[in-house]
């Protein structure tokens, strides 16, 4: 194997790893990360933000199917929460009844289900990465 073949193999593996990370298709993990934005002004017709969308801290959910609970870690916050009363199908499909806030937290196909009048929207990891790169450039 020549040096150029070795470099090409490393490059192919790096690109494959990046694609797996960006599209969150690692079948061997029990973690789900949610990237979301909040509108800083009024929401019109549940789709149009009159102000600007701002990135919220990344939420990382660790799913434990054996005990049917989920741990939630929010970026830049020291404590993690444990969600109980959960019904878990798999990493990207579950529902928890949060008795503390009297809310239902539901994930369907990896997407957080928001109330109709929510000023929060979920974005993909790729959109989040693009926002971070644009913030660095500006």
pLDDT 10s digits, 76-120:
988 888 888 899 999 999 999 876 667 788 999 988 887 767 788
pTM as predicted: 0.80
Facing residues of 81 across strands? 72
Every domain of the chain and the residues it spans: 28-137
Give CA–CA dist 83/100, Å, rounded: 10
pLDDT 10s digits, 22-72:
778 777 889 999 999 988 887 666 667 778 888 999 999 999 988 888 999
Q: Compute, in degrees rounded to 10, the torsion defined by CA atoms 48, 54, 58, 61.
A: -30
Beta strands in the chain (DSSP E): 31-39, 43-44, 48-49, 53-55, 59-64, 69-74, 80-83, 86-90, 93-98, 103-108, 111-112, 120-123
């Amino acid at each position: 194997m020549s040096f150029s073949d070795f470099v090409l193999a490393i490059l192919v593996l790096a690109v494959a790893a990046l694609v797996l990370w960006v599209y969150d298709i690692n079948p061997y993990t029990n973690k789900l990360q949610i990237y979301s934005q909040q509108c800083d002004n009024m929401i019109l017709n549940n789709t149009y933000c009159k102000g600007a969308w701002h990135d919220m801290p990344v939420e990382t959910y660790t799913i434990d199917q054996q005990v049917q609970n989920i741990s939630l870690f929010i970026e830049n916050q020291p404590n993690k929460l444990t969600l109980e009363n959960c019904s878990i199908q798999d990493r990207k499909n579950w529902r928890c009844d949060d008795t503390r806030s009297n809310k239902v937290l539901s994930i369907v196909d990896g997407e957080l289900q928001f109330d109709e009048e929510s000023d929060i929207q979920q974005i993909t990891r790729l959109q989040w990465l693009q926002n971070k790169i644009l913030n660095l450039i500006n």
